[in-house]
């Protein structure tokens, strides 16, 4: 079974631009979560989608948004990029996400550099 895939793997943007990152979950998984990882803040939860609906949200400004499609693939968008948005963005998928025993499986991440 293929793992979680993320595209692109690397991205360079300039301040003020916007960016869209894509995540394809493991086949059959319906829950997709997004995290931002930086050296200073560690892993921070952005949001989680299940059945095309945002089910959980972290403490990030409205510039960060996401969506999920009917095939469970997900995209996240960051508008008006700031230097501080430079980070590794990780996507994780799980089956349903509702049970405490379920595991999240992570993709390799998209490394975003904002200049």
Partner 1 sequence: GDSVTQMEGPVTLSEEAFLTINCTYTATGYPSLFWYVQYPGEGLQLLLKATKADDKGSNKGFEATYRKETTSFHLEKGSVQVSDSAVYFCALKGTYNFNKFYFGSGTKLNVKP
Q: Which residues contribute to the site for partner 1 (CB under 8 A)?
A: 4, 6, 31, 33, 35, 42-43, 45, 48, 50, 55-56, 90, 92, 94, 97-98, 100-109
Length of the chain counted residue by residue? 115
Q: Which is nearer to partner 1, 58 or 79 (CB)?
A: 58
**Min CB(61)–partner 1 separation in Å:** 19
CB 16 within 8 A of CB 81: yes
Q: Which is nearer to partner 1, 53 or 70 (CB)?
A: 53
CB 93 within 8 A of CB 103: no
CB 34 within 8 A of CB 89: yes
């Amino acid at each position: 079974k293929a793992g979680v895939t993320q595209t692109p793997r690397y991205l360079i943007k300039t301040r003020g631009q916007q960016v869209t990152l894509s995540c394809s979950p493991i086949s059959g998984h319906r829950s997709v979560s997004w995290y931002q990882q930086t050296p200073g803040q560690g892993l921070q939860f952005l949001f989680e989608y299940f059945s095309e609906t945002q089910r959980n949200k972290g403490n990030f400004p409205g510039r960060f948004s996401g969506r999920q499609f009917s095939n469970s693939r997900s995209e996240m968008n960051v508008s008006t990029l700031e230097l501080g948005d430079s980070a590794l963005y990780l996507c994780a998928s799980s089956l349903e996400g509702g049970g405490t025993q379920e595991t999240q499986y992570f993709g390799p991440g998209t490394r975003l550099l904002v200049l």
